[in-house]
Each structure stands twice: as C-alpha cells, then as structure tokens.
Structure 1
C-alpha cells in the first residue's frame, strides 16, 4: 500500500499567490495588473495554477489507483469533475447577476468591457447559452481555465495508469500531444462567445501532467532536484534575459532608449510565446521559474509558518471557492472601475477583493481544522467488567 506524501506547504502558498494574481489580472482596466509577473516574462499565474493542480492530482489520486485500481480512481476523478462543473455553473449565474446589476441598475454599457460583453449571449439567447455552457462550449471571460481544469482532472486517471504501466512513456506521449498542438494550433474547442477556448487542452495538458509526473518522481524517491548553483544561475539568467527582452521590445523600453541605440532593440516581443497554445518560450520561461523557486525556497523554510504565509496557504488549499469568488469579484471590480476610475477606487477594488478572498480562505481553513480535530478526538469505548461481561470502561487516550 502506497503512503500518501506529506503536503508541501509551498504548493498551497504559490497556488494561493497565483489565485490572487488571477483576480487582479481579471479586473478590467486595473492598473495594478501592469505590475504583475506576466509583465516581466511570457508565462503568468495560469501556468502556476495548472502545474500545481497537476502535482496535487498525483498526490490525491495516485494512492487510489495503486490501492483500489483504475475504476475507483476514475470514479473519484469524475466525482471531482462534477463538483467543478457545478461550481462553474453557479459562478456563471452569480456573475451574470452582477453584470445585470451593472448594466440595468448601474447604467453601464455592456460593450464598455469585454468582461461584461462576454455575458451578452447569456442575455440574448439564455437557453442556447446555458446549453452550450453545460457542455463547456460557452465560456465567458475568465471561465476558460476552470473548463480546462475539469477536462484535465477527467483525464488524470488515464495518465496515472499509463505512467504506472509504462513509466516515462506517458510523459513522452504528453510531449507529443504538445508538439501536435504547436503544429496545428487550430485544434482548440469552440466557444460561443470568443470563437474558441483561450487554452488549448492539447498544449496545456503538458504543463499539467509535467506537474503530475514530478509529483510521482518525488514520491518514488528515485530522482531529486539537484541543489546546483549552476542550475540556479542558468534559471535566473534565463528569467532576467526574457524580462529584459520583453522590456526592450515594449513602448516604454523604446521611449527610454536613446535614439542612437534603438536600432539594437528587438522590434517584437518574445516569439513562440502564445498563451492559447502555450508556446515553447512560454513553457521554457515557466520551467525556469519553477526551478528557481524550488531551489530558492526550501520545503522547510521557516517563513512558511508565518501568519502572512498562512493566509496564502489557506487560499491555495481552498482554491476552488477562492477562484470562483475571485471571478465574481473581478466582474464586480470591473463594473466599479467603469463607473469611476480614480486612484482611490482602484486601490479600494484591489484591497477589498484580496481581503475578501483571504478572509474566506481563513474561515474555510478553520472549519477544515475543526473537522479534522473532531475526527481525531478519542471516542468513549466500553470494555468488559467482572460483574458485567459485556460492559465496558472508557478507553484511555
């Protein structure tokens, strides 16, 4: 019987960071989004979320496959998909209510933001839109990543079974599918609102199952990430180089560079870095980022037990409700900034949204802790006494 690997706090912490960044980026017209990591390289919080989700899948479902077989593992995955699917529908309906209030009560034009405009099909043809949404083919703004997650969770048991039977051949197959997505970028599911998904499942399954594979390798103990100064230096060099490249190709970079030197600047940003197909440079940037973080942040780092880290860890541990509420708050924040865009309003939208997400995560974490303590509490069990053969005394802790 396989032992379940102890939970790595770094996974929940960086997943929590990714969720807060996703919220900030999803607020339309948010100046703070220009300071997020995506402005300093081709990859962003989406890769972090998908990679860590793949890692967590291996820890949750790998032991089920080993102990109870493929059928039980697939049932567990489909049960999780049902939860995600339900959350997807409920988030859509609540977000649509926010949009309706913004448009009909706040008198905001729906065309003022693609966040609001993406809900147009739901108001124009609600039955058709909901039917397409149920099969994940109508996805308003920000709903693509949850649909991708549903699909990948459903496929995870098959990958785990293939890895258990054929080892690294499963990883090789994932890489082949990734290359197919690069060669044929049009292989993306349709979307009633925006032509197709923003994430190609054929491409993004690669980063998801790379996370799954890493978790399986770490659990087996066969391979460890080398604590190499050269590896860290190479990763940091690549990250800094791509950040400088992206800055040099930007309008700000051209404006700050003397005219005599502008001929040396790149005319275009980093190539092969499309988000929908997870371009090779984007994937390389994320892998360098993951490697650098793994080397710089040890698993037993003391600051991971601090209060601020605890807030982020709670966010990552309760990622589904945090993400769903974050989507609703980002739609509401977009409407607020459309109505009044001042520095005070921008600050209030961001701080209020982050505060709500952190507070909700802490409430959910405390409830989870109380449930765990209740399960671990010693029960009163009887033991036989001389006078009553069937009677029992309380069991000592």
Structure 2
C-alpha cells in the first residue's frame, strides 16, 4: 500500500498567512497593502498559495493514483474541480451583490476602482457575462487565481502519473512549458474583462508542480533540501538582495538617498519579474523564500502549537472558504474605503476582515474535529507508516 505522509503543519500555517495577506492586498486603495511582504520582493502570496496547493494535491491524490489507478485519481480531481467551479460562481455572485449595493444604494461610481469596474460586464450584459463566466472566460477581480487552480487540479493526475512513470522527466516537461510561457507571453486564456487572465497557466503550473514534486520527493524518502548553512546563506542573500534592490529603485528609496549617492542606485526595479508570466527573477525569489522558510522553521517547532499559530493553520486548512469569503470582504472593504479613508476606517476594514476570516476558519476547524472521531470509528485505522492527509486544499 502507498505510504501516506503525516500532515505538515507548516504548510497550512504559511498558506493561512498568505490568505490573510491576499485579503489585505485585494482591498482597493488600502494603505496597509503598501507594507505587506510582497512590497519587499518580486514574489508575493500568490506563489505561496499555488505552491502549497500543489504540495497538498500530491499528498491527497498520490495514494489514490498508487492504490486505485489513474481513472480513480482523475475522477477525484474532477470532483474537486466541480467544487471549485461552484465556489467560483458563488463568490462572483456574492461579490456582484456587494458591488450593486455600493453603486446603486451607496451611490459610489463604479469606475472609481478597478475592483468595482471589473463587474461592469455583468451589469451591462448579464446573460453574456454569466455564460462566459461559466467557462472561465469572464473573471472579475481576484477570481482568476481560482480559475487557475481549477485547471491545475484537473491536470494534476496526469502530472502525478508522469512523475510515477518517468520521474524527473515530468518535472523537466513542466519547466519546458514554463520556458514556452516566457518566450511567448501572449499565450493567455481570454477574459471578458481586461482581455486576458492575470495568471498564465503555462507559467504558473511550474510553481504548482514544483510543490507537488517536492511532496512526492519527501514522501519517497529522498532529501530534496539538505540542511546546509551555505544553502541558507545563499537563499538569504537572494531574498535580502532583492529587497534592497527593489527598495533602492523605489521613489521612497531615492527620496531617502543623499544626492551624491543617488548615482549608485539602480535605475529600474527588478527585471524579468512579471506576475502574469511568473518572470524568472520572481520565481528565483520565491524559491529562495521556500528554502529560508524550510530551513529556519523546523517541523517540530514548539510555537506551531500556540494559539495564534493554530488559528493561522486553520485558515490554511480551510483555504477555499477563507479565500472566497476574503474576496467578498475585499470588495466590500474597497467600497468602504471609497466612501472615506480615515485611519479608523482603514483599521476597521483590515482588522475586521482579518478577524472574520480567522473566526470562520476556527469555526470550520472545530466542526471538522468534532466530526473526526466518528469518521475514525467508521473507517479502518491508519497504517503504521503514517496518518492519511485530509483533502482540504
């Protein structure tokens, strides 16, 4: 029987942190978005979300492929895709309701924010917009990452099968597709709003399947990340170096630099770091962050069992509802900040939204743990090799 790996709490925790940062960044005109980690390097929370989702997919679907075959694995993936597709529709409609209230009740101009304006096609031609949305070709603000996730989950069984059969050749194929996306950046699915997706599936599949590959390598007993001080030093050099580069090239960095030293500052920000095609420097920065996190945060760190850490872990464990509710809250927060952007309002939007997401995740986690004992009684005991990983990606 395929060995099942115990759940790594760090993955859920980092994913939970990423989801909260995504919420803050999605609120239009949010001053706090200027101090999120993505402002200090080319990569941001999107890579964390996609990478850890790929890791979780491999742990959840790898045993299904090994024990029941490719067809069962593909059926499981398509079932998950249906859930994601339904969540995408529900999130869009709930967000559209918030936009309608903001525009037609509160009297806010729709064109005042691209968050609100992205729903204009739905109000102008509802039937056409819904038809395009059902086939993932009309994606208002923030919903393209969920559409990307649907495609990646659907393709995951083929990658897992290829990895089981051909090993690293499957990873090489993923990298080759990434290079094609860099060479031909226009290969992007259409979007009724703004013309195309903000995430190239050909490029972003590389992050997803690198996460899946790491999970498979760890499960097989390989050591993909040696605990080397030299590796940590190199990764930190990349992270710190790019943070300094981006800061020095910013308007604030130039304003704080004496005139006689300004000639030494970079004239442009980090190149080859486009988000839509996941530029090479962006990918390098993210991989360096992965190394730093893996080497500095041990799996058995005591603080991972603290109350705040458990709340963040619950967010990552229940990532789909937290993300969807976060999108709706971000649209609502955008409308609130358009009406007035005083410090108390900004704090209320951000702290209130984060609190709602944490409470939601905590409630969902308590419901899951209450159901777990009954499920364990009804199901066979896990094998001595480990505990099965729940599919909460």
Tell me if TM exceeds 0.5: yes
Provide, for residues 314-363 of structure 1, a one-character-per-residue CA deviation record: whole Å limited to 9, x for no partner: 00000000000000000000000000110000000001000000000000
TM superposition score normalised by structure 2: 0.96
Q: For structure 1, list consecutive stretches of 5 or more residues without a partner in the other structure.
A: 380-397
Pair member with larger Rg: 1
How does 1:311-350 map onto structure 2 within 5 Å? Answer: 311-350=311-350
Tell me by how many angstroms 1:293 deviates.
0.4
CA contact (8 A) 2:13 2:316 kept: yes
In 2, Cα distance between the equivalents of 1:304 and 1:145?
A: 28
Work out the number of aligned pairs and report it: 379
Partner of 2:225: 225
Aligned residue for 1:203, secondary structure, equals helix
Tell me by how many angstroms 1:224 deviates.
4.0
In 2, Cα distance between the equivalents of 1:228 and 1:162?
A: 30
Partner of 1:365: 365
In 2, Cα distance between the equivalents of 1:96 and 1:349?
A: 19
Cα-Cα RMSD: 0.9
Partner of 1:189: 189
Aligned residue for 1:371, secondary structure, equals helix
In 1, Cα distance between the equivalents of 2:92 and 2:113?
A: 17
Aligned residue for 2:141, secondary structure, equals coil
Partner of 1:79: 79
In 2, Cα distance between the equivalents of 1:225 and 1:110?
A: 48
Partner of 1:135: 135
In 2, Cα distance between the equivalents of 1:67 and 1:13?
A: 29
Partner of 2:43: 43
Partner of 1:208: 208
Tell me by how many angstroms 1:4 deviates.
1.3
CA contact (8 A) 2:214 2:224 kept: no
How does 1:1-397 map onto structure 2 within 5 Å? Answer: 1-377=1-377
CA contact (8 A) 2:91 2:324 kept: yes
Tell me by how many angstroms 1:236 deviates.
0.6
With 229-238 and 80-89 compared, the bigger mean Cα shift is at 229-238
Provide, for residues 237-266 of structure 1, a one-character-per-residue CA deviation record: whole Å limited to 9, x for no partner: 111100000001000111111111111111
Aligned residue for 2:371, secondary structure, equals helix
In 1, Cα distance between the equivalents of 2:268 and 2:106?
A: 40
Tell me by how many angstroms 1:225 deviates.
1.6
In 2, Cα distance between the equivalents of 1:16 and 1:126?
A: 34
CA contact (8 A) 2:249 2:266 kept: yes
Provide, for residues 81-124 of structure 1, a one-character-per-residue CA deviation record: whole Å limited to 9, x for no partner: 00000000000000000000000001000000000000000000
In 2, Cα distance between the equivalents of 1:363 and 1:184?
A: 45
In 2, Cα distance between the equivalents of 1:175 and 1:154?
A: 18
TM superposition score normalised by structure 1: 0.95
Provide, for residues 168-201 of structure 1, a one-character-per-residue CA deviation record: whole Å limited to 9, x for no partner: 0000000000000000000000100011000000
Tell me by how many angstroms 1:34 deviates.
0.5
Higher relative contact order (CA 8 A, sep 6+): 2
In 1, Cα distance between the equivalents of 2:260 and 2:291?
A: 38
In 1, Cα distance between the equivalents of 2:345 and 2:70?
A: 52
